[in-house]
Amino acid sequence: MMEQAGELLSGIILHEKQYATKVITVHHNRVIALFDRTIELVYEMIALISEFIKARFAHSFIGFM
């Protein structure tokens, strides 16, 4: 499960970095905004993955009891 979450997160980061790199050569000012949004996206994804893992663990623990 952690491996899948890591792959999902790295895929999103890679996609955003590639897109931002393409924009950098054309509109330098827009790249800063893209990178800001990328960092926000990463934080959101980490929070979602963390909540998913907590919920999954709680469900497994209840099943164990």
Domain assignment present for residue 52? The answer is yes
Whether 3 shows a pLDDT value over 60: the answer reads yes
Total structural domains within the chain: 1
Domain assignment present for residue 15? The answer is no
The pLDDT value given to residue 60:
59
CA distance 5 to 45: 9
Q: Alpha carbon 7 to chain centroid distance?
A: 9
Mean per-residue pLDDT for 32-52?
A: 72
Q: Which residue has the tokens 């054309």?
A: 26
Whether 42 shows a pLDDT value over 60: the answer reads yes
Domain assignment present for residue 37? The answer is yes
Domain assignment present for residue 16? The answer is no
Helices (H) and strands (E) in the chain, counts: 2, 0
Whether 8 shows a pLDDT value over 80: the answer reads no
Mean per-residue pLDDT for 33-49?
A: 71
Q: For the whole model, what pTM was predicted?
A: 0.39
